[in-house]
Amino acid sequence: MGIRKEGHLRVSPGYCTLQTDDIMDAAAAVNIRYLYPFPSALEAVADKPRLLLATSGGSQLHPFFFQGQMRYPRRTADLLLACSLVSRTRFYHPGELRERLLASADPVVTSGGERLRFEAFSVCCGVYCRLDLKPEALDGEWTGRGTTNVDFNPPMRAALAGVLGSEDVRLNVGADRVELERTSGSTVEKKVKLPVRWLKGFVEVQSYQCRMKPALEVPASELRQLLRTVPEHQTWQKGAVSYIVPAGKGVRLSQREGPKAVAVGAPGRLKILENILRHAKIVRIYSGDDGVSDWELICDECSFHILLSPEAARGFSGEGQALATLARDSGEDLLARIKAQLQWQAKIDPQSLAAHVNAGADAVMASLAMLGSRGLVGFDLSENSYFHRELPFAMDLVEELQPRLRKARALVEEKCVRIVSRRADNIDAYVQGDGAEHRVMLAESDARCTCPWYAKHPGERGPCSHILAVEILANGEE
């Protein structure tokens, strides 16, 4: 008589365990663990369905997410060099720690949705850039999805600088390396550690970008002409704001705000675009109400974004725009369902996602903002949508790196918050701070506090710990 066996399959994100139990001997069991680098999916590629199955890979996983050729090698090489240049440039010089900080120059590369994205921050963290290589820019094989980070050292920069427009150049991106293959040889950059302040910067930039709107469009040649008149090393007074305003077919700098004006702190930072504007046709400028501006260089097969902080002395890593979103502690079930639907999409469709998770579109957008504050999605102004990418960090660091949020949670736990009145969207409260009690007033679109920190940064750098504490307590009471 044969021995009958029953199988039990247990599935978790990233792996599954198969256990077979011998009915004649309950003690006999075999545990098999399969590791999957990404979720399997049915995708639409060029309007045709394509099944992408993830496998455990046997003894060796596939070493690359993407392997293929650059269709426009000279342009792609120049844009990659610009991304690397941003990561090696300090636009604000406090006169200390320069050399140590310059050692951390590491573009983050994401493979997903049939495109490659390269992201980087300047040394001072006041400038963020992103290069999107769309499917039209690359000809190759997409075998996986993922994010990695590499240091573009001198050998890689020299190889990119020597690329010819007529040359066959291959680009291979894997979980632990980026390879550039030319007829003269190959250059390999291995994965390195990223500075922790970049995690805070990534969390902040998507908080700004999701609120920005298109403001101006200008021919790339006109912007290049303007930048030639901007001094290379001009000293910009701290707190001073300049404006980019329309002027005929192009734009000009102004010290006064006018119709369609875009506020720009330290416009000299735009000089970094001067050498790559020849590759673009149009530059689209986005702005918000907070002095942050985004400049998109639009090419046929790619785009290059540069995001400027309100002034050179303000790095994105020190902002606090994501704090209120991070402080929310509701909707974890919906967040989990949405995370399960994320498959490295280049463009996340909120309506489709809402149908899959059985939730309203507004709730889905709020959840995507929360996932962005946790580093799990970014925002693409070109598409006006979020995209999925998982940063190469331990995500439990996100809240640990926010001292205002940690202090706010401690104030709530220590019962230092008193809500004295609550009417519709208005809350009046008192918070016992260090040696004094501060009054906090929350309205539908405004929040005020009597503490010294708020007096110094009135709503410009996110909420203070007292405002956050009141919001946390108020949300917990709902």
Nearest CA to 442 out of 425, 458, 455 is that of 425
Alpha helices in 281-424 (DSSP H): 323-327, 332-341, 350-357, 361-373, 397-400, 403-413
CA distance 287 to 294: 6
CA distance 200 to 276: 28
Alpha helices in 129-277 (DSSP H): 154-161, 196-209, 220-227
224-276 pLDDT tens trace? 999 998 876 555 556 567 899 999 888 999 988 888 899 998 888 999 999 99
Average pLDDT (13-19) is 44
Nearest CA to 56 out of 160, 144, 126, 154 is that of 144
Residue 5 CB contacts under 8 Å (≥ 6 apart), including other chains: 20, 21, 22, 23
Mean pLDDT (the chain, rounded): 81
Residue 53 CB contacts under 8 Å (≥ 6 apart), including other chains: 40
Q: What tokens does 274 get?
A: 């001067």
pLDDT of residue 472: 85
Percent with pLDDT over 90 in the chain: 35
194-230 pLDDT tens trace? 777 777 788 888 888 988 999 999 999 999 999 998 8
pLDDT-based confidence at residue 10 (cuts at 50, 70, 90): very low
Q: Are 105 and 154 in contact (CB under 8 A)?
A: no
The CB density around residue 16, as the number of other CB atoms within 10 Å, is 15
Asked if the model's pLDDT at residue 95 lies above 70, the reply is: no
Nearest CA to 448 out of 476, 428, 433 is that of 428
Q: What tokens does 331 get?
A: 């909707």
Task: Give residue 13's identity as a one-letter amino acid code.
Answer: P
For the chain, the domains span 5-35, 64-318, 323-385, 402-477
The pTM of the full predicted model, rounded to 2 decimals, is: 0.77
Burial of 11 (0-12, 13-18, 19+ CB in 10 A): exposed
Longest dimension (CA), the chain: 92
The CB density around residue 294, as the number of other CB atoms within 10 Å, is 24
DSSP state string for 222-244 = HHHHHHTTS-TTPPPPTT--EEE
210 by DSSP, 3-state: which?
Answer: coil
pLDDT of residue 20: 42
CATH 3.70.10.10 fits 64-318, yes or no: yes
Least confident of 32-46, 75-89, 128-142, 371-385: 32-46
Percent with pLDDT over 70 in the chain: 77
